[in-house]
Amino acid sequence: MTELVLRPLADAFMQVGVYVAVMVALFGWLRWRYGDRVTDGLTSRPRLGPLVGALLGVSPGCGGAIILMPLYARGKVSFGTVVAALAATMGDSSWVVLAWNPVFALKIHALLFAVGLVTGYVVDALGIDPARAVDRRVAAAPAPVGLAAVGGPDLAGARRLLGGLLPRVPASTAFWGLTTPAFAVSVPVVFQLVDPGALRRSFGGVDPYLALGVLGSLTAALIFAAGRGRLADDSLETAHPRSLRETLRHSAHEASFVTVWVAVAYLGWQVVTTTTGFDGSQLALTGLVGVLVGAGIGLVPGCAVQIVFTGLYVSGGLPLPTLVANAISQDGDALIPLAALRRHSAALATVVTTVPAAAVGAALLVLL
């Protein structure tokens, strides 16, 4: 029971969740303090659009890419800027690789940035932009409730809607209360700075890694359930947090969201390997077929499926070209507000990003 169920739950929180929580909170704070400066500079220098789009997209999570969507809908940035961000983003699955191996994460994010940058400039050079066929008056129309630009007339409605979906403060407080000691235990254990057996003996036979890990995953599951099982709470509102309290609450929800889906991947993988002996080598996710499957799965909106897919790579179930194809193709949660604002543009953008995904994945098959 411990190795089959409890250990995967503990690993999900201690190996991924606590690091995701710290990094999400950090990037949330940066968005809170400096986000508007980036977008203001972007709208005044349109030629830098794909460059800034790739920079915003490659930042962990979905917030950087999300803030571009209303700017595109209002004609402030090019379609190439949007495509650059979507190709560069790895969504919330970026937290998984960051927590697992920061050096590897740096390499894959550098690749994503380069692919997003080139793709964005190519799209602009070819003059591709579905919004050109739409009446310019539509671009100036108010966004739907919950997706209005920050400070717009629908902000109050968006806050009421978001307030009903986010977990209440006590839940997020409990999450951070567990994350602090869990981080202190996880770092020496994960980086093999201490003998787990000696640590367990120092706590009177209680394994603090296992106990804190299971409690952390269960708390994350409660927060996820309190959010009504939403795939994520990313929105235009949370891309521009208004206070540190809001930042921490959003960070707890996003970290819980990632933790839950990583736990699903870890637990499912452990059950499959234990009961069937299936170790992933039998999957048809290698070679060109694997690359195409990875790129195809990237067409699925949102982050949940992509997190599970990335979790399979971390657990040894996927080859690198398949992961890279999926990372480039996936658009994270940014595609959702874009679809609400510009449906045809969203459909074309997600198809466009699969082209470099398949090309780069195939190239890695040859090079590796």
DSSP, residue by residue, 142-185:
PPPTT-PPTTSTTHHHHHHHHHHHSPPHHHHHHHHHHHHHHHHH
Residue found under tokens 């997706």? 147
Residue type, 264: V
Chain centroid, CA 179 distance in Å: 19
CB 367 within 8 A of CB 97: no
pTM confidence score: 0.64
SS3 191: coil
Give the integer Cα–Cα distance in Å for 148 and 300: 24
CB 290 within 8 A of CB 240: no
Give the integer Cα–Cα distance in Å for 266 and 134: 45
Chain centroid, CA 286 distance in Å: 24
The model's pLDDT over 324-346, given as tens digits with 9 standing for 90+, comes to 999 999 987 778 778 877 889 99
User: Whats the size of the chain, residue-wise?
Assistant: 368
Domain ranges of the chain: 2-367
Report the pLDDT value the prediction gives residue 164, as an integer from 0 to 100: 45
The model's pLDDT over 233-274, given as tens digits with 9 standing for 90+, comes to 455 555 555 677 777 888 888 788 778 877 887 788 778 778
Report the pLDDT value the prediction gives residue 226, as an integer from 0 to 100: 82
Report the pLDDT value the prediction gives residue 152, as an integer from 0 to 100: 37
Residue type, 212: L
Report the pLDDT value the prediction gives residue 198, as an integer from 0 to 100: 82
Q: Which positions of the chain have pLDDT values less than 50?
A: 135-140, 143-169, 231-233, 281
Give the integer Cα–Cα distance in Å for 263 and 265: 5
Report the pLDDT value the prediction gives residue 69, as an integer from 0 to 100: 80
Residue type, 262: V
